[in-house]
Amino acid sequence: DGGITQSPKYLFRKEGQNVTLSCEQNLNHDAMYWYRQDPGQGLRLIYYSQIVNDFQKGDIAEGYSVSREKKESFPLTVTSAQKNPTAFYLCATRQGAGGYTFGSGTRLTVV
Amino acid sequence: AQSVTQLGSHVSVSEGALVLLRCNYSSSVPPYLFWYVQYPNQGLQLLLKYTSAATLVKGINGFEAEFKKSETSFHLTKPSAHMSDAAEYFCAVSDTGYDKVIFGPGTSLSVIP
To probe the interface with B, which of A33, A37, A56, A106 has the most B CB atoms within 10 Å?
Answer: A37
In the predicted structure, residue B1 carries a pLDDT above the cut 70: no
Mean pLDDT on A7-11: 95
How far apart are alpha carbons B99 and B60 in whole angstroms? 24
Strand partners, A56: A48
pLDDT per residue over B37-56, tens digit each?
999 889 999 999 998 778 89
Whether A90 sits inside 8 A of B43 (CB atoms) is yes
| The predicted structure's pLDDT at residue B95 | 80
| The predicted structure's pLDDT at residue A83 | 87
pLDDT per residue over A19-42, tens digit each?
999 999 999 999 999 999 998 778
In the predicted structure, residue B99 carries a pLDDT above the cut 80: no
